[in-house]
A and B are shown apart, each in its own frame.
Chain A
Amino acid sequence: MLRQDHYKTSVYKTPFHERTSELNILNEWTRWKDYTVSTSYFRTDLEYFAVRNTTGVIDYTPMVKQKITGPDAAEFVNRFFTRDMNKIAVGRVGYVVWCDEAGQVLDDGTVFHVRENEYWLLCVERQLDNLGNSAVGFDVKIEEITDEVACLGVQGPTSCSILKAIGFDAIEHLKPFDIKHYDFQGQEVMVSRTGFSGDLGYEVCMPNDVALNLWDELFDKGEIYGIKPFGLDALDLVRIEAGLLVPGQDFMVAEEAIRPGSTRSPFELGLSWLVDLSKPVFNGREALLEEKKRGSRYTFVKLNINGNKPAEGAYLYNQSGKKIGNVTSAMFSPSAKANIAFATLHDPWKKGKDKIIAEIYYQKDLEWNKVMEEATIVTKPFFDPDRKRTTPAELY
């Protein structure tokens, strides 16, 4: 149990804070759950380009981590998540969503099949309540390990070379979504070829007490490979280019939604590939079957918008001036030199027939202007280099 005076430390420092605070010359921080993390270290654009060109390192320790163990672990996760979890073999990672009974998405995350009868769920929102409610009758143990495990995202084209240089042998042979355990100074660290950048990259989970040493090793060996820290601002740029959603930004998490209609089903987020309706039981199955029959209310799309004014928060209209949706995330992509966005569309939008026109407000010399720009739907990520998939991974 926490000490009675825990309120005196309202915000925690991550195990990397000693280093990240030294490197954060802009002194820009934000709160992420219990912790404070850097939004930007030295220049957001150069941090962004480190991820796209060399290697960026992000401290994502505050990511909520839950460990599920026990003889029924495999059956339990299959019951909890919407996709067929049997396909995620030991040593593999899978992207997942899970729903409430109404088929509305509670959160998204990644499940690590760490070893036989052991799964880790990394996600945005805390799930002990939801996981616990579903665990009735399963022989599993569910615990939160957020504070015990330090995590780094090591993302970018030279990331494999750097991890190899710190002694992670044969790491180049990891396929996307593979997990491998390494010994680092006598402790076990878990490396996976995963991340939030849409590029070649890895995530490293480690016990807190080797965190600083591993950081130092990375930055020492990584110097000649152009290693740089990056903050949440740069992360937001790469994840939009990569086509990755953020709960709480691109959709409302069902657990916190007050107003009817404000939540989304997996189908409405373009995630039908994560739903396996042939499974006999999982949370939200009945509702999703029903939705399949009567149709969805919303359609999630990636947009390429004319012009160069980012469409943050824009309303979307069809050619007759009827509102058909709104933008949830937007930016001008430095890599595609394109004006890109995620959006959610609704009635009376007609797929293939209606135009999508964004109403964009922007400021120049304090004056507000408005443009109406046509947008086209894009199906692939805005940035999608081959090196993201190539195995063995690129070495420098």
Chain B
Amino acid sequence: MEKYDAIVIGAGHNGLTNAAYLAKSGLKVLVLEKNDYIGGAAVSRELHDGWTYSNCSYVCSLLRPEIYRDLNLQKHGLQVIAYGGSVTFMEDGNIFGGYSDHDVQRREIGRFSKKDADAYVRFGRDVSKQCRFIKPLLLRTPPDPTSFRPKDLDELLYLFKRLYGLGEQTIYETIRFYTMSAAEYLAEYFESDIVKAAMSGSGIIGTALGPYSPGTAYVLLHHYMGEVDGSIGSWGFARGGMGSVSKALAGALQEYDGKIITDAEVTQIQVKNGKTTGVVLANGDEYHAKNVVSNLDARRTYQDLFDPQDLSEKLLKQVDNFKFNGSSGKLNIALDGLPEFPAMGKDNPLIYADMHFIDSLERIERAYDDWKNGRWSQDPYVDMLIPTMTDPTMAPPGKHYMSVFVQYAPPKLATGEWTDKDREGFGKTVIDQIGEYSPNFKDLIVHAEIRTPQDIENEVGLTEGNIFQGELTMDQMFFNRPFPGYAQFRGPVKGFYMCGSSTHPGGGVMAAPGANAAREILYDLKRKNIVPEAENDD
């Protein structure tokens, strides 16, 4: 049996990033993937002849440019292309547009409130301040605040320096910011309900919280990070779908002689004398390595791959307590032509934008109530895009692919597990909502893939279908991600590491957790660090 220096379980984008860095450092690396395709949730699939779907993650705004550059992902075929704006359709037939041109945006807000239009400057500044604080932390390891090791003390000191570098007032604001709801936060700037509704969307995406739930202000920021830095091309689509990200990362890995085996489901992490020795596959094959890295989420990793006897009672409890709360589903739709949205008027560039059909915080909160009651939202919040308006590679010319992210959908219904009939009903709810704003939409549908949180869990392996591999709430963030004592990518046994979005800094196609974990592994192996630091914004 071949021996490796490191085995990475799961060929999601973080697993591939992690493996690429370990291989680049000169280690012999093997990636094992249960599906017959790589990418996890960063994947492109042709499920209808001629159409390519980004069938899970669908926009590429957070991928760390430092990693993109360092692993030369461009050479391996990745092209991230910008798309423009956002639009919210209103019940009264009006629309609210989000434009990147500052003056156009100000005038658009001014259609609803002149005061809000001017407040937009202050809002932009304050969000930018928070982004400036967080961005460099994305590619760093959170310090353990209870440890006195020099490495942790150094990192704590760095953190305090940055915090104090914000200025006195912003320190207070920062602490408020992390505990507030998106609605409260936005209310400090805006009075118009449509403006607040449109801006709160990114505060709930992927999270089982409503706009009035504490903690959603941070989620808003998490999604803003790709957008506000203003450097061109920082947000957009991966050309060819999100699978292009994984393909490019795999290309980088293979350039450094890393190996990927698909159709290879790991069922057991072997532990001997408190050290990992390798893994066992579903088919009984064994692969040996002193270092084993899991790209799976915290629950799957510890509950499915470890023998509970190898873990402490405390850890098992922490794993149990780690929150997933799947909250979203997805529709991928093949269209025979471009749907019309009469409210937008002809030739409106917002047809390239992300689209939404909920125009008040109240309606979003009601949609959340449905989730709490164990049913999918009857009036859902969707984040809908037509990637083929921008990307010419995903459907035949003149035809279109529509990606519809849907919030909220519970991992389990009040009536029990999702049935085929439920899935159909869920799809119909969403299609009906879009149909209300686009008269020809339904007639254009040639194929639709409807994915419930349960489908996402079964196919991709994300517990409860949570897109972040665990909720992005303060109790599960930074040095508490995934849980206290294990936030530095290491596990309870020697040689075992985590590198997925269950670790710092969390979900989104960022490649940061994978890179961060690689840095810690190289540190333990006393090898030179080759993982890039975040670029300074100052």
Contacts and interface: CB of A to CB of B under 8 A. Distances in A.
Interface of A: 42-46, 48-49, 52-54, 157-158, 161, 224-226, 307-308, 332, 334-338, 364, 369, 383, 396
B79 A335 contact: yes
Contacts of A224: 397-398
Interface in B40-89: 65-66, 68-69, 73-74, 79-82, 84
Contacts of B393: 396
Contact of A49 (B69, B73, B81, B538): B81
Interface string B239-251: 1000000000000
Contact of B84 (A46, A52, A308, A383): A46
A43 B79 contact: no
A225 B81 contact: no
Given A336-B69, A337-B65, A158 B392 contact: yes
B82 A337 contact: no
A308 B236 contact: no
A337 B69 contact: yes
A52 B79 CA distance: 9
A379 to B, nearest CB: 14
Contact of A337 (B68, B236, B239, B397): B68
Given A46-B84, A336-B69, A337-B68, A53 B233 contact: no
Contact of B538 (A45, A158, A335, A364): A364
B232 A45 contact: yes
Given A43-B101, A337-B74, A396-B393, 7 more contacts: A43-B84, A44-B232, A45-B232, A52-B81, A334-B232, A335-B74, A383-B74
Nearest to A161: B397
A45 B392 contact: no
Interface string B392-425: 1100011000000000000000000000000000
Contacts of B389: 226
Nearest to B69: A337
Contacts of B398: 224
B100 interface: yes
A337 B69 CA distance: 5
Interface string B248-268: 000000000000000000000
A308 B538 contact: no
21 contacts: A45-B82, A45-B232, A46-B84, A48-B232, A53-B79, A53-B81, A53-B239, A53-B391, A225-B397, A226-B389, A226-B390, A226-B392, A334-B82, A334-B232, A336-B69, A337-B68, A337-B73, A338-B69, A364-B537, A369-B538, A396-B397
Contacts of B233: 45, 49, 334-335, 337
**B interface, how many residues as a size bin?**
20 to 34
Given A224-B397, A336-B69, A54 B535 contact: no
Nearest to A339: B69
Interface string B427-447: 000000000000000000000
A337 B71 CA distance: 11
A338 B84 CA distance: 23
A226 B394 CA distance: 13
B349 interface: yes
B166 to A, nearest CB: 14
B65 A308 contact: yes
A308 B398 CA distance: 38
A52 B392 CA distance: 11
Nearest to B68: A337
Interface in B159-203: none
B69 A46 contact: no
Contact of A54 (B65, B232, B392, B536): B392
Contacts of A335: 74, 79, 233
A308 B231 contact: yes
Given A158-B392, A334-B233, A42 B397 contact: no
Contacts of A307: 535-536
B346 to A, nearest CB: 12
A35 B350 CA distance: 32
Contacts of A157: 392
A307 B535 CA distance: 6
Contacts of A43: 84, 100-101
Of B66, B82, B100, the most chain A CB neighbours within 10 A belong to B82
Contacts of B79: 52-53, 335
A158 B232 CA distance: 22
B484 to A, nearest CB: 34
A224 B392 CA distance: 9
Nearest to A237: B232
B74 A49 contact: no
A336 B74 contact: yes
Interface string B208-234: 000000000000000000000001110
Nearest to B532: A306
A305 to B, nearest CB: 11
Contacts of B535: 307-308
A49 B82 contact: yes
Contacts of B232: 44-45, 48, 332, 334
B236 A49 contact: yes
Nearest to B389: A226
A335 B69 CA distance: 9
B78 to A, nearest CB: 9
Contacts of A308: 65, 231, 535
Given A53-B239, A334-B232, A42 B349 contact: yes
A64 to B, nearest CB: 31
A315 to B, nearest CB: 21
B392 A53 contact: yes
A126 to B, nearest CB: 34
Interface in B92-124: 100-101
Contacts of A42: 349
Of B74, B80, B231, the most chain A CB neighbours within 10 A belong to B74
A45 B392 CA distance: 17
A308 B231 CA distance: 10
A307 B538 CA distance: 11
A336 B70 CA distance: 10
A369 B537 CA distance: 12
A364 B229 CA distance: 13
Contacts of A225: 392, 397
A158 B233 CA distance: 20
A99 B392 CA distance: 43
Interface in B524-538: 535-538
Contacts of A334: 80, 82, 231-233
Contacts of A44: 232
Contacts of A53: 79, 81, 239, 390-392
Contacts of B66: 337
Interface in B482-538: 535-538
A44 B230 CA distance: 12
Contacts of B68: 337
The 10 tightest CB contacts between A and B, nearest first, are A334-B233, A45-B232, A337-B68, A224-B398, A337-B69, A337-B65, A308-B535, A53-B81, A224-B397, A49-B81
A340 to B, nearest CB: 10
B536 to A, nearest CB: 8
B511 to A, nearest CB: 12
Nearest to A306: B535
Contacts of A336: 69, 74
A226 B393 CA distance: 11
Nearest to A367: B538
B379 to A, nearest CB: 33
A396 B392 contact: yes
Contacts of A364: 537-538
Contacts of B231: 308, 332, 334
A43 B79 CA distance: 19
A46 B81 CA distance: 8
B537 to A, nearest CB: 8
B150 to A, nearest CB: 27
A46 B538 CA distance: 26
Contacts of B392: 53-54, 157-158, 225-226, 396
Nearest to B84: A46
